[in-house]
Structure 1
Amino acid sequence: MTPEQLSTAIVDALTTLSDEGALALPDGVPTSVTVERPRQKGHGDYATNVALQLAKKAGTNPRALAELVAGRLKQAAGVDEVEIAGPGFLNITVAAGAQGEVAASIVVAGASYGASDVLAGQRINIEFISANPTGPLHLGHTRWAVLGDAIARVLTAAGAEVAREFYINDRGVQMNNFAASIVAAATGKPTPQDGYAGAYIDDLAKAVGDASPGIFDLPEPERLRAVRAKGYEIQLAEQQAQLDGFNTHFDVWFSELSLHDSGSVPETLARLKELGHVYEEGGALWMRTTDFGDDKDRVLIKSDGELTYFASDTAYYLNKRSRGFDHCIYLLGADHHGYVNRLRAMAACVGDDPDKTLDVMIGQLVKILRDGAELKLSKRAGTIVTLSELAEEIGVDALRYSLARYPADSPLTLDVAEITKASNDNPVYYVQYAHARTCRMLANAADLEMTLPEDLSGTAGGFDPSLLAHERDGELLRALADFPRVVAAAAELREPHRIARYLEDTASVFNKWYDTKECRMLPQGDEPVTPANVARMVLVVATQTVLANGLDLLGVSAPERM
């Protein structure tokens, strides 16, 4: 019996009481109630504070309401016992058979277990890397590559339609400086002022020359334009390859320059004027964002006629909304903290409710230590640590998991030695090893010709859920049953680290179950395979499924061997 099923049973009990006139709720019976695992043993399998929440509305005291609900709930299928604790908490014990059925439902659901429809119907755009196509992606991008992708995965699992978007900063003087740096490297000249240096520029110069023979012999300014276009193409392709190798994939690669070439920015300015949220002062055009909580108004067009980044940001937001996205999520670095209020004010200025259409997440910095010293230099880029170098040194799985298991707004320091060691002290190793253990157990079962029952609906099919009656069986079943709730919470709160912490807790519960001799899955010696062995084989497959599904939500592999 899952928490969701128990929630439904409680709602049914409340509905029956209401229909019989024993309970009067002015706002009606809630559609769902919160059901949680109790923190202390002996308090049942699940607990709810529904009586405390509804007593005042029902015009009674919590304990009296709890007694009414308990009386009805005891009659529900799968409920073994209901106790009232303290001022009105309900501690519920589920029948062993009903609890054991959770394992079968997980096995049947397979890769879809954990998914829900809590965000069904929502179209969400998540922009989680915004970078210049002038060099390799670095450590700062790495954290967002993990968190943005993991958030997109849990949002999708919660039923939302999600588009992952990379914003290419391909407009501005940096593109000319980039081209000039490539030309200088190709022609043996010093790096120009404000140019780009590092071995990667030398590599780019060679790649540009190989792709377009004679390009460096073109006259100016044709040469600069041609090198800029080809260098952009090659460097962007490398960024895409870097992210693909890091298990992060984007649905949209959006060009900032395309906003201006398509006329989106002038159209945006015209719309703002119609809405009455712009004004001219000092020869510049301003957006009156202070009307919506910003600390100052923002310039859209400078007095010299140059458009600001904020003008592009506004046009870009409207572009996303015009593509049918109900909600836009931005993942920005720590140096963009001031953007929260200005982006919210911008959304309000164009007629949206930012509480409904906008989410701005600010991430903190990451430090990587090796031998006690911070990694700051790159072999290829000279002044930055690149994503590819980190993934190569640490490993994609270890790096992704280590970055995903902390909230975005927490500063983070990772030690290479700690996150790569094969030890139970290393969380990613601990979780992956638990999955590998389930694979080894099932391989051993196959050697004994043990197979899953074809029909998992009950004893007739060879699976008796009531045999999963040991205390450790129950603990593991309750942990597995909690997975959909954790995924839904991670999606609604944009907090994929909840998945990682859940996996670690569940792996711990599984290991304790594994070490309990009364819960052995495999028969010993010449013992025959019993229905209890088969039941626990179903439980192991369920555990394997949950661990694999959870790791996949973090973009981390679930190895069969360690």
Structure 2
Amino acid sequence: MQIREELENLIAASIAAACDDATLELAERPAPALERPRDLSNGDWASTVAMRTAKLAHKNPREIAQIIVDHLPENNMIASVEIAGPGFINIKLTPSAFQSVAARVRAERFDFGKGTLPEGTPRNVNLEYVSANPTGPMHVGHGRWATLGDAIARVMRHAGYQVSEEYYINDHGVQMDVFGNSVSVRYMQLLGHDIEMPEKCYGGGYVKDIAQGIIDRDGNKWESVSDQERIEAFREIAYQEMLDLIRETLTGFGTTFDTWFSERSLYEVDENGTSPVSRSLEIMSEKGYLYDKDGATWFRSTDFGDDKDRVLLKENGEYTYFMSDVAYHYDKMQRGFDHLIDLWGADHHGYIRRCEAMLAAWGYPGALEVVLGQLVNLFRDGEAVRMSKRTGEMVTFAELIDEVGVDATRFLMLSRSSDQPIDFDIEVAKKKDNSNPVYYVQYAHARICSVLRKAAGEGAESLSADELAAKVIPADVDLSVLTHESEIALMRKMDDFGELVALAARDRAPFRLTHYAQELAGLFHQFYTNCHIVGEDPAIQNARLALADATRTVLALTLDLIGVSAPERM
């Protein structure tokens, strides 16, 4: 239980006791919500419950505050209480309250900060992200969605959600035919045919590479077949190659998906002659939300807040792209999810209302949540980077990872909220000093491991950090000596972790963990400077080693929730 929760229970008990002896007369008992004072000289926590209760109790807020203070149960958490201003209850904690945090971290380890969701919160969540078209390699923007989606899933799971991660493969429709034709033209050009690339094409150098790979494998086998046969064959070859490349890039980045959902599967006809697309269209029709106009079939999306109705079936009998989304999201709900989260680029903002409308039409209002992400601006030493040095084309996500590494890429991609653009400087990401935030945080973790090795002495080099901690810190270590300002600051920050995770999960805002990691690392570096550890009196050394080890755990856990490693040596 966090300090905040324990304090709120104490205040709730105080209010209950005051009501029981009629010192307070309340028709309903207020929530004893606490908040951090901006200035810690005013206390560690503050409550406005007295001011919020004034009308209910028909008393002056300061009088109510005094009644609450007078009825506080005996405890070992509160050092002092001050009633300030119009009725603030400012609480200062005892060192033992903070020491319990370090003890809890060491006992719970990677379960520290795990939460339980409030009653009524949708728990079973489908999280769909990246979903880059399999018509080319992933670009840096896709990398931001990969980082963001993976971190959201990790943080939400720690907060108590069940999360299924999904990649939607856009492998149906015109763009796939264009891709196949682009490879076909490059193939024929490489065999000496004077053919120009069509206006609608994929012109990247990777298309030429795919065509050359086909020649290396098959020679001129496809030269004499019809254009249509060649396009269809090359579409499948190129599609599979790009999908494999995407999978390989994401796997190397540490991002995995529970489901890879093919758009094509929505159009597969079963033995009854129906497909997921046709079935979802039929269901919408049965609900009365479709009508025919100008030979096309329309969805009455304006009935659900959209700015205009949307075509699902064109006059020529072809389904629209939106129809695929209709069938896909219906399929998700039929799989038993309570809530759907889609991560989209900000340029898809105008698409949200119609997708919300389709779910509302099926009776799932509010089931879809769309997180929009802004662009990544790539720099090198402050200069904008437009093209890859190697290919002369766009910098792919794989190239960025190869140059700066997974950890730096992840940390910097999460350094700002998803609704803000990111300026990603490649050279900063590669630095091995404190100007690089991920290095700064990882170095704090490695420094703690070094302290544990120093304390362990001979034979320490072969031991892991967990083994070192078990060797040098007594199981019954006494933390009561941890009273220095730097020690208290570290423990106070660690106590914030559980609430941070809960709010980051609720707000889909894992970027907050990068800021928290930097703050915790900074507090450890201060503690390391101000409080000598190895060589102190044994009781003090043991307690400080335990505090350092608790900090190591929270740092490693924070980094793990954003997919970044916690090295033991640097």
TM-score, normalised to structure 1's length? 0.91
Q: What are the Cα deviations for residues 359-381 of structure 1, in whole angstroms up to 9, with x where unaligned?
A: 11221111101244322224677
Q: What are the Cα deviations for residues 200-245 of structure 1, in whole angstroms up to 9, with x where unaligned?
A: 2233235456677886368344443333223222211110110111
Identify the range of structure 1 (178-187 vs 471-480) with the bigger mean alpha-carbon deviation: 178-187
Match of 2:27 in 1: 26
Report the CA distance shift for 1:380/1:130 in structure 2 as closer, same or farther (over 3 A).
farther
Match of 1:178 in 2: 179
1:1-16 alignment, distance < 5 Å = 2-16=3-17
Q: Distance in 1 between matches of 2:294 and 2:468?
A: 79
Of 413, 423, 432, the match for 1:413? 423
Match of 2:440 in 1: 430
How much does 1:498 deviate?
1.1
Match of 2:320 in 1: 308
Q: Distance in 2 between matches of 1:503 and 1:492?
A: 19
Q: Distance in 2 between matches of 1:135 and 1:381?
A: 14
2:529 matches 1:494: no
Segments of 5+ residues of structure 1 without an aligned counterpart are none
Secondary structure of the residue aligned to 2:83 is strand
Match of 2:197 in 1: 192
Match of 1:548 in 2: 556
2:306 matches 1:294: yes
Which amino acid in structure 2 is aligned with residue 227 of structure 1? Answer: F
How much does 1:310 deviate?
1.3
2:97 matches 1:98: yes
2:254 matches 1:276: no
Of 185, 201, 207, the match for 1:201? 207
Q: What are the Cα deviations for residues 231-275 of structure 1, in whole angstroms up to 9, with x where unaligned?
A: 222211110110111121111111111112251111111121222
Q: Distance in 1 between matches of 2:526 and 2:37?
A: 19
Q: What are the Cα deviations for residues 331-353 of structure 1, in whole angstroms up to 9, with x where unaligned?
A: 11121111222222222222222
2:365 matches 1:353: yes
Q: Distance in 1 between matches of 2:205 and 2:183?
A: 11
Identify the range of structure 1 (532-541 vs 342-351) with the bigger mean alpha-carbon deviation: 342-351
Secondary structure of the residue aligned to 1:337 is helix
Report the CA distance shift for 1:56/1:69 in structure 2 as closer, same or farther (over 3 A).
same
Match of 1:115 in 2: 114
Secondary structure of the residue aligned to 1:216 is coil
Report the CA distance shift for 1:538/1:259 in structure 2 as closer, same or farther (over 3 A).
same
Q: Distance in 1 between matches of 2:72 and 2:443?
A: 40
Of 442, 445, 460, the match for 2:455? 445
How much does 1:538 deviate?
0.9
Q: Percent identity of the aligned residues?
A: 43
Which amino acid in structure 1 is aligned with residue 265 of structure 2? Answer: S
Which amino acid in structure 2 is aligned with residue 299 of structure 1? Answer: V
Secondary structure of the residue aligned to 1:42 is helix
Question: Given that residues 199 and 382 in structure 1 are in contact (C-alpha distance below 8 angstroms), is that contact kept between their aligned partners in structure 2?
Answer: no
Segments of 5+ residues of structure 2 without an aligned counterpart are 270-274, 461-466
How much does 1:26 deviate?
3.2
1:103-182 alignment, distance < 5 Å = 103-118=102-117, 122-182=123-183
Q: Distance in 2 between matches of 1:321 and 1:401?
A: 33
Question: Given that residues 455 and 472 in structure 2 are in contact (C-alpha distance below 8 angstroms), is that contact kept between their aligned partners in structure 1?
Answer: no
Q: Distance in 2 between matches of 1:324 and 1:208?
A: 43
Match of 1:56 in 2: 55
Q: Distance in 2 between matches of 1:201 and 1:413?
A: 29
Which amino acid in structure 2 is aligned with residue 186 of structure 1? Answer: Y
Of 250, 255, 263, the match for 2:257? 250
2:519 matches 1:505: yes
Q: Distance in 1 between matches of 2:17 and 2:331?
A: 50
Match of 1:75 in 2: 74
How much does 1:505 deviate?
1.5
Question: Given that residues 98 and 465 in structure 1 are in contact (C-alpha distance below 8 angstroms), is that contact kept between their aligned partners in structure 2?
Answer: no
Q: What are the Cα deviations for residues 137-160 of structure 1, in whole angstroms up to 9, with x where unaligned?
A: 102211111111111111111110
Which amino acid in structure 2 is aligned with residue 343 of structure 1? Answer: C
Match of 1:238 in 2: 245
Which amino acid in structure 1 is aligned with residue 291 of structure 2? Answer: Y
Of 509, 522, 528, the match for 2:534? 522
Report the CA distance shift for 1:209/1:473 in structure 2 as closer, same or farther (over 3 A).
same
Report the CA distance shift for 1:358/1:58 in structure 2 as closer, same or farther (over 3 A).
farther
Q: Distance in 2 between matches of 1:58 and 1:113?
A: 39
Secondary structure of the residue aligned to 2:50 is helix
Q: What are the Cα deviations for residues 287-343 of structure 1, in whole angstroms up to 9, with x where unaligned?
A: 122222222111112222221111111111111111111111111112111122222
How much does 1:447 deviate?
1.4
Match of 2:332 in 1: 320
Q: Distance in 2 between matches of 1:382 and 1:264?
A: 42
How much does 1:11 deviate?
2.7
Q: What are the Cα deviations for residues 425-474 of structure 1, in whole angstroms up to 9, with x where unaligned?
A: 32222211111111111111111899757999xxx953222211112211
How much does 1:487 deviate?
0.6
Question: Given that residues 127 and 165 in structure 2 are in contact (C-alpha distance below 8 angstroms), is that contact kept between their aligned partners in structure 1?
Answer: yes
Question: Given that residues 121 and 161 in structure 1 are in contact (C-alpha distance below 8 angstroms), is that contact kept between their aligned partners in structure 2?
Answer: no
Which amino acid in structure 1 is aligned with residue 294 of structure 2? Answer: G
Which amino acid in structure 1 is aligned with residue 255 of structure 2? Answer: T
Match of 1:398 in 2: 408
Which amino acid in structure 1 is aligned with residue 260 of structure 2? Answer: W
Secondary structure of the residue aligned to 2:325 is helix
Which amino acid in structure 1 is aligned with residue 445 of structure 2? Answer: H
Secondary structure of the residue aligned to 2:297 is strand
Secondary structure of the residue aligned to 2:211 is helix
Question: Given that residues 456 and 471 in structure 2 are in contact (C-alpha distance below 8 angstroms), is that contact kept between their aligned partners in structure 1?
Answer: no
Match of 2:479 in 1: 465
- Cα-Cα RMSD: 2.6
Which amino acid in structure 1 is aligned with residue 208 of structure 2? Answer: D
